[in-house]
């Protein structure tokens, strides 16, 4: 029954996206039910650093501004061992240092979340060192020992849910591909080695909190597009592979920015 609950959540999200794409002026009427909510996952009491604290809300803001899909501008935190983890299908797991081994209750929480169809985006805030990514992969292997990490090809739907993306980028250029754990045809755990939150973060005065390198403004724009695509992938799953939506996709291609 719980697994069905997550599927129903995704249907609600998709219905909301369809409604707002057809009638952008009615976004507010849709309310918060089924909106994209970039919750931050906490383990061992760790929290996102202050510099990137604005990034989850900015992620939702860019989604709303660019697609008219519903999003929550105030992101929340949820612990891996809290029952609230199962209330919604998406979390961001971010950090910059090595993690201690997860507790038994944290392992059980993440196992339930993923087995019910939840999605995790792992964002390494210090990908040059990679200590966070390595430790998360170690712990995810404990959560889903039967599920290997694979490379997502450029043809994967996450690269075309809204924008057409040739490669992922963030605050740093990073590797030219995404990696993920794919279960039931869905990428459930997506690993980023690009510091996506670093590219999205703003200061209290509204300026960008961190410089992006080496591509400057253009690279930041493509990082935002990646964030939008990841949100749309959650909201709509792999609907872009359905030929029913081909005309809509072609219109999106025609309106691409250079």
Residue-wise pLDDT for 103-121, tens only, equals 999 999 999 999 999 999 9
List pLDDT tens digits, range 24-75: 333 333 345 578 999 999 998 777 788 999 999 999 999 999 998 999 999 8
For residues 249 and 256, what is the distance between their CA atoms, to the nearest angstrom? Answer: 11
* Averaged confidence pLDDT in the chain: 84
How far, CA to CA in Å, does 192 sit from each of 5, 26, 38, 189?
28, 33, 15, 10
Q: Which CATH class is domain 2-254?
A: alpha beta
Q: Which of the pair, 233 or 5, is modelled with greater confidence?
A: 233
Report residue 13's pLDDT band, with 50, 70 and 90 as the boundaries.
very low
For residues 202 and 146, what is the distance between their CA atoms, to the nearest angstrom? Answer: 39
| Domain spans of the chain, in order of start | 2-254
Around Cβ 213, how many Cβ atoms within 10 Å? 10
pLDDT value of residue 75: 87
List pLDDT tens digits, range 75-85: 899 999 999 99
Residue 16 has pLDDT above 60, yes or no: no
Helix-, strand-, coil-residue percentages of the chain, each rounded to 5: 45, 15, 40
DSSP bridge pairs for 190: 121, 180
Backbone CA torsion sign across 97, 103, 106, 111: positive
For residues 181 and 206, what is the distance between their CA atoms, to the nearest angstrom? Answer: 35
For residues 103 and 97, what is the distance between their CA atoms, to the nearest angstrom? Answer: 18
């Amino acid at each position: 029954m719980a697994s069905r609950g997550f599927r129903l959540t995704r249907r609600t999200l998709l219905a909301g996206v369809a409604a707002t794409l057809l009638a952008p002026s009615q976004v507010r009427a849709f309310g918060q039910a089924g909106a994209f909510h970039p919750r931050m996952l906490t383990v061992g009491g760790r929290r996102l650093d202050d510099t990137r604290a604005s990034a989850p809300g900015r992620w939702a803001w860019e989604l709303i501004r660019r697609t008219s899909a519903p999003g929550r501008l105030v992101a929340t935190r949820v612990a891996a061992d809290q029952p609230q983890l199962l209330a919604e299908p998406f979390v961001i797991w971010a950090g910059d240092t090595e993690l201690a081994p997860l507790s038994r209750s944290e392992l059980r929480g993440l196992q339930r979340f993923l087995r019910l169809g939840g999605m995790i985006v792992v964002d390494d805030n210090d990908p040059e060192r990679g200590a966070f990514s390595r430790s998360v992969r170690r712990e995810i292997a404990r959560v889903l020992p039967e599920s290997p990490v694979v490379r997502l090809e450029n043809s994967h739907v996450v690269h075309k849910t809204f924008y057409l993306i040739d490669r992922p980028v963030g605050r740093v250029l990073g590797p030219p591909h995404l990696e993920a754990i794919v279960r039931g045809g869905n990428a459930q755990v997506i690993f980023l080695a690009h510091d996506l939150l670093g590219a999205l973060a703003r200061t209290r005065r509204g300026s960008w909190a961190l410089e992006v390198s080496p591509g400057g403004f253009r690279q930041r724009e493509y990082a935002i597009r990646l964030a939008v695509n990841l949100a749309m992938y959650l909201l709509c799953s792999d609907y872009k592979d359905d030929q029913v939506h081909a005309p809509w996709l072609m219109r999106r291609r025609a309106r691409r920015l250079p």
